[in-house]
């Protein structure tokens, strides 16, 4: 193409805001964005408990309800039990939103081993604490407040929203590096399965629990602590 004509086309494109290189870059970004979205797995479909079951059982307890895109525990309506995913995860990025009832307590556990060898998810799975910081008596204990790595590491900041308001939590585990985020704040950052991790566990209530925090893959669990709790937008990405 003649250089003069090429220059005229380039000027025209720039004048109309059309940058050929920029358009190509934008298209690549759109593809990358779609690929990122496709990598996420919905653990809750918004209208059923598909993909979940009660720990060491095949069914879901009747106290777990689904309504308008929310999975919640109604402890007044029967037996619930801790929920665990059907699937097992190793390195992952988990996102979910939650809100707790007044004086309520719950949690999200990971690397849970579902086995008759263990009587509950917390026997093996570390936990991101969910609790009414102002109302539940357990919240008076250091490392037992919302956003904490339960009984192991206290949050760097207290950023949970009040009772009845939604919070966004993220748990990222990659190559032994563990990070908790609560409402956009990195509340916990540590390394699992090294000497300092063993020291943390040895200084905790779990020190004599042989299976606790030892496994590098397992299920995700939502805790039934006997109090109403709500979850939504639960999704995970394998890393």
pLDDT at 6: 44
Question: How does pLDDT run across 155-186, given as a tens digit for each residue?
Answer: 999 999 999 999 999 999 999 999 999 999 99
DSSP string, the chain: --HHHHHHHHHHHHHTT--HHHHHHHHHHHHHHHHHHHHEEES--SS--TTEEETTSSS--TTEEEETTEEEE-GGGS----EEESS-BSSEEEEEEEEE-TT-EEEEEEEE--STT-SSGGGT--EEEEE-TTT-GGGGSTT-STTSBTTTB--SS--PPPTTS-EEEEEEEETTEEEEEETTEEEEEEESSSHHHHHHHHTSTTTT-TTTT--SSBEEEE---SS-EEEEEEEEEE-
pLDDT at 14: 42
Q: Are residues 55 and 109 in the same domain?
A: yes
Q: Are residues 118 and 27 in the same domain?
A: no
pLDDT at 8: 47
Q: Are residues 232 and 213 in the same domain?
A: yes
Domain ranges, residue 100: 45-238
Query: What is the pTM assigned to this prediction?
Result: 0.85
Q: Are residues 95 and 125 in the same domain?
A: yes
pLDDT at 138: 97
Grade residue 37 by pLDDT with cuts at 50, 70 and 90.
confident
Domain count, the chain: 2
pLDDT at 38: 81
Q: Mean pLDDT across the stretch 61-80?
A: 97
pLDDT at 111: 98
Q: Are residues 27 and 75 in the same domain?
A: no
pLDDT at 112 over 50: yes
Q: Are residues 23 and 101 in the same domain?
A: no
Question: How does pLDDT run across 209-237, given as a tens digit for each residue?
Answer: 999 999 999 999 999 999 999 999 999 99
Mean pLDDT of all residues belonging to the chain = 90
Grade residue 67 by pLDDT with cuts at 50, 70 and 90.
very high
Q: Are residues 17 and 106 in the same domain?
A: no
Q: What is the CATH number of the domain that holds 163?
A: 2.60.120.560
């Amino acid at each position: 193409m003649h250089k003069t004509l090429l220059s005229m086309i380039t000027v025209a494109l720039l004048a109309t805001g059309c940058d050929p290189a920029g358009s190509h870059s934008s298209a690549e970004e759109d593809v990358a964005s779609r690929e990122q979205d496709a990598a996420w797995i919905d653990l809750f479909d918004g209208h059923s408990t598909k993909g979940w079951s009660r720990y060491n059982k095949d069914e879901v307890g009747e106290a777990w309800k689904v309504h308008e895109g929310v999975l919640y525990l109604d402890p007044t309506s029967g037996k619930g039990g801790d929920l665990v995913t059907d699937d097992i995860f190793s390195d992952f990025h988990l996102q979910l939103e939650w809100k707790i009832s007044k004086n309520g307590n719950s949690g999200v556990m990971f690397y849970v081993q579902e086995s008759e060898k263990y009587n509950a998810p917390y026997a093996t799975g570390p936990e991101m604490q969910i609790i009414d910081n102002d109302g539940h008596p357990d919240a008076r204990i250091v490392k037992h407040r919302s956003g904490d790595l339960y009984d192991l590491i206290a949050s760097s900041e207290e950023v949970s929203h009040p009772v009845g308001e939604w919070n966004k939590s993220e748990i990222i585990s990659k190559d032994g590096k563990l990070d908790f985020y609560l409402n956009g704040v990195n509340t916990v950052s540590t390394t699992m399965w090294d000497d300092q991790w063993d020291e943390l566990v040895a200084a905790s209530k779990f020190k004599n629990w042989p299976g606790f925090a030892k496994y590098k893959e397992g299920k995700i669990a939502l805790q039934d602590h006997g109090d109403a709790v709500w979850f939504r937008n639960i999704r995970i990405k394998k890393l």
